[in-house]
A and B are shown apart, each in its own frame.
Chain A
Amino acid sequence: QVQLQESGPGLVKPSETLSLTCTVSGGSISYYYWSWIRQPPGQGLQWIGYIYFSGNTMNNPSLKGRATISVDTSKNQFSLKVRSVTPADTAVYYCARSQWLVSEFDHWGQGTLVTVSS
């Protein structure tokens, strides 16, 4: 059974860069689409972007180019960086898997809370 686990700092200062990694275990990162999704406290879900194992990516325009997603197939990991963060970026960040580009998220990590505060 594939499992996803997010990791990274839980506190980031305003204007700095948020960095998270998702480690995939129990299966290969190859031939799947991998997304980052976030949920501000008490709010709904927002898709941030995806990466294919080959490196093709697409981000949500709502983040105005601040998000970058990368993949390291040798480590079965993919990562998220969000630059120039503000308190509005405070959220639980989830990584998730899709079998195809146009498909549902069938596996999720447990999520990690990132707080943006000085």
Chain B
Amino acid sequence: EIEMTQSPATLSVSPGERATLSCRASQSVSRNLAWYQQHPGQAPRLLISGASTRATGIPARFSGNGSGTEFTLTISSLQSEDFAIYYCQHYNNWPPWTFGQGTKVEIK
């Protein structure tokens, strides 16, 4: 099973600032990596697939990068609705698919 590790656990950012979240895989997952956003009491929402492709309707301030074992999600200018928990997930080669433990983006 591939382990996904996210850092930091919590990121304190002021509105309008840039946020960079990291995700590391315990072995290469190529570019088979997705990012999700989850607000309290809601289901996760797909943001990014294929490490860098924004899902339908996702604003351009969200961008993903990386391949192999190192990935980043960048939010270029945080809006109030972006304060949430973000999860990375691999879907490389064969199940089980695994998620990172999440990064909480909170208002500074």
Contacts and interface: CB of A to CB of B under 8 A. Distances in A.
A102 B95 CA distance: 8
Contacts of B45: 108
Contacts of A60: 95-96
A44 interface: yes
Contact of A94 (B43, B92, B102): B43
B95 A110 contact: no
B43 A109 contact: yes
Interface string B90-108: 0111111111111000000
A31 to B, nearest CB: 18
Interface of A: 35, 44-47, 49-50, 58, 60-62, 94, 98, 102-106, 108-111
Interface of B: 1, 32, 34, 36, 42-46, 49-50, 55, 87, 89, 91-102
